[in-house]
Amino acid sequence: MVEIKTDASVDAMRVAGRVVAEALAAVRAAAAPGVRLRELDEVARTVLSEAGAGSPFLGYRPSFAPTPFPAVICASVNDAIVHGIPDASRLRDGDLVSIDCGAVVDGWTGDAAVSFTVGTPRPEDRRLMDVTRQALAAGIAAAMVGARIGDISHAIGSVGRAAGYGIPDDFGGHGIGRRMHEDPAVPNEGRPGRGFVLRHGLVIAIEPMFLSGGRDDYRPDDDGWTLRTTDGSRAAHFEHTVAVTENGPRVLTVP
C-alpha cells in the first residue's frame, strides 16, 4: 500500500534527510588511501549518534539476506554495485567507492547514496559518476504531481542506456517513510506514462545504479549481501530521498 505523507511528515523526514547528508559528507571526507572500510562505518555511526538518530540499515534483514546487515553504511568498492559490507579492507588510490546511508529520526527515515573516487580518478570512472548523477537529476525532475512512476524510470534509464551502461534488474528506488522500503517500487528503467500516479505527499528514494561494462547481470558475493558486476567492470550509485509536492520535487537528503 502506498502511503501519502502530510506536509508535517515531509518536514519531519527532512530532519532525517539532513542527518544522512551529514553522514555521507563525513564519510567522504574521511575516505583516503589506507583507510579501512569499517573505519568509514565508524564515522557514520558517530554522526548518527551525535544527531540522536538511529540506523535503518543496522540489523536489517530482507528475504534474500542470510544474516542481518552489520553496519550503518553500505560500502561498495569498484565492481561492487550495492550492499557492500564495510570490513577491514583498506582503500587504495583510484578506488571508486559508493556509500549508501540511512537515518531514522523520531520514527521517520531518510536514505541517500553517493559515489566518489579515492585519490586520483580514472577518466572512465569520472564519466560513469557524471552520467549516474545526471540520471538521478533526470529522475528527480520527472517526479512531478500528475506524472507516473514510469516517467521517473524512463528518465533514469534513458540517460544510462544512451551512455552505454548496464542497469541491474530487481534493484532500484522505493517508497520511504516510517520504514526504509515502502511501496511503490521505482525501477531504474521503464515505460513513460505507466505505473502509480504521483501525488502531493508521496515520498520516494530515487537511486540510479549503472554498470560501466554495459551488461545488466550481477552476482552476489559469498556474504549474501554484496552484489558485483559479472564482468568485473565498475559501478556507480547515487540516491536521494525526494518528496513529490505541488511546488515540484523536494529533495530531503541535502545539507
Q: What is the mean pLDDT of the chain?
A: 98
Q: Report pLDDT digits (tens) over 129-167.
A: 999 999 999 999 999 999 999 999 999 999 999 999 999
Q: Which residue has the cell 520516494?
A: 204
| Amino acid sitting at position 51 | A
Give the pLDDT confidence score for residue 40 in this predicted structure: 98
* Residue 110 near residue 247 (C-beta atoms within 8 A): no
CA-to-CA distance for 157 and 96, rounded, in angstroms?
22
Question: Could you tell me the pLDDT band of residue 217, with boundaries at 50, 70 and 90?
Answer: very high
Give the pLDDT confidence score for residue 226 in this predicted structure: 98
All cell numbers assigned to 154: 524512463
CA-to-CA distance for 70 and 12, rounded, in angstroms?
26
Give the pLDDT confidence score for residue 211 in this predicted structure: 98
Q: Report pLDDT digits (tens) over 223-235.
A: 999 999 999 999 9
Give the pLDDT confidence score for residue 171 in this predicted structure: 93
- For 136-160, b where at least 16 C-beta lie within 10 A, e where not — what string? bbbbbebbbbebbbbbbbbbbbebb
Give the pLDDT confidence score for residue 176 in this predicted structure: 98
Give the pLDDT confidence score for residue 143 in this predicted structure: 98
Q: Report pLDDT digits (tens) over 6-56.
A: 999 999 999 999 999 999 999 999 999 999 999 999 999 999 999 999 999
CA-to-CA distance for 232 and 220, rounded, in angstroms?
13
Q: What is the pTM of this model?
A: 0.97
Question: Could you tell me the pLDDT band of residue 59, with boundaries at 50, 70 and 90?
Answer: very high
Give the pLDDT confidence score for residue 75 in this predicted structure: 98
Give the pLDDT confidence score for residue 184 in this predicted structure: 98
All cell numbers assigned to 41: 562505518
* Residue 143 near residue 204 (C-beta atoms within 8 A): yes
